[in-house]
Structure 1
């Protein structure tokens, strides 16, 4: 079992590193070369579908509110994100993506979908269920330690 733990750990570390490297490399070559990997992940958390508060986004990214504010300021200046004041409570400001931000979100989402499809290729439904369970276990562990 210890050999399997080491093999899987080494694989997870390589995969994590490779995903980050590919994302950074593709960003530099793309029309979104003005966005850092951290800014791209902020765009991903904001999503096209929700208008989250800065506190919600900071919590999901494990950032302090001050760090997130600086990131959002840069994304607003670059026209990826907009601040939306609530009609019901003018003190509440939500974050949304601009058209440029939505385009970036879709490109990032497409990369991840392509990557997951490749990961699951040639697996039967039972194998996919096993992977889902293993990922749930990993997520649970990470939540307990974050």
Structure 2
């Protein structure tokens, strides 16, 4: 294997694992210790300002609506997520974050923004754009790979 490919691969694997570990340990040691990583990613998928249906959130996360419902039920019970019926059709239920859910979302988002800022801190504009191109290529590869997975 090309030494550069090997080194980049090691960094990507380590970074992925470290981000998850840091997020999990941070949650466990905070006032949000009742939230799992899976639930945190559900909160992230619901987002700060949108009201999304269960199907829309499930699609963002790549899970079935049934699988998501278990996580949402827990987050509603823990007061991080609210189910909201729309005025124009009371049968339609949308998901939104409660005030506590929005606080957790902002703290999680800050960690990600700090991580990105630190990553590009010593780069000039051209270097940052090259990194962005590499990340876009990685994203596109992962999207194509997801499309090939069994449904």
Global fold match (TM > 0.5): yes
- TM superposition score normalised by structure 1: 0.97
Residue of structure 2 equivalent to 1:10: 10
Write the distance in 1 (CA, Å) between the matches of 2:134 and 2:78.
39
Distance 1:53 1:74 in 2: 16
Q: RMSD of aligned C-alpha atoms? A: 0.9
Q: Which residue of 2 aligns with 1:26?
A: 26
Query: In the TM superposition, what is the alpha-carbon distance from 1:4 to its structure 2 partner?
Result: 1.1
Q: Distance in 1 between matches of 2:142 and 2:60?
A: 13
- Could you tell me how far apart the structure 1 residues matched to 2:135 and 2:92 are? 35
Q: Which residue of 2 aligns with 1:145?
A: 145
For structure 1, which segment, 1-10 or 31-40, has the greater mean C-alpha deviation from structure 2 after superposition? 1-10
* Structure 1 unpaired stretches of 5+: none
> Could you tell me how far 1:83 is from its partner in structure 2?
0.6
Gaps of 5+ in 2: 147-151
Greater than 4 Å deviation, 4+ residue runs: none
User: Per-residue deviation at 1:6?
Assistant: 1.1
Rounded Cα–Cα distance in structure 1 between residues aligned with 2:137 and 2:92 = 36
Q: CA deviation at 1:35?
A: 0.1
Number of corresponding residues: 146
Q: TM-score, normalised by structure 2?
A: 0.94
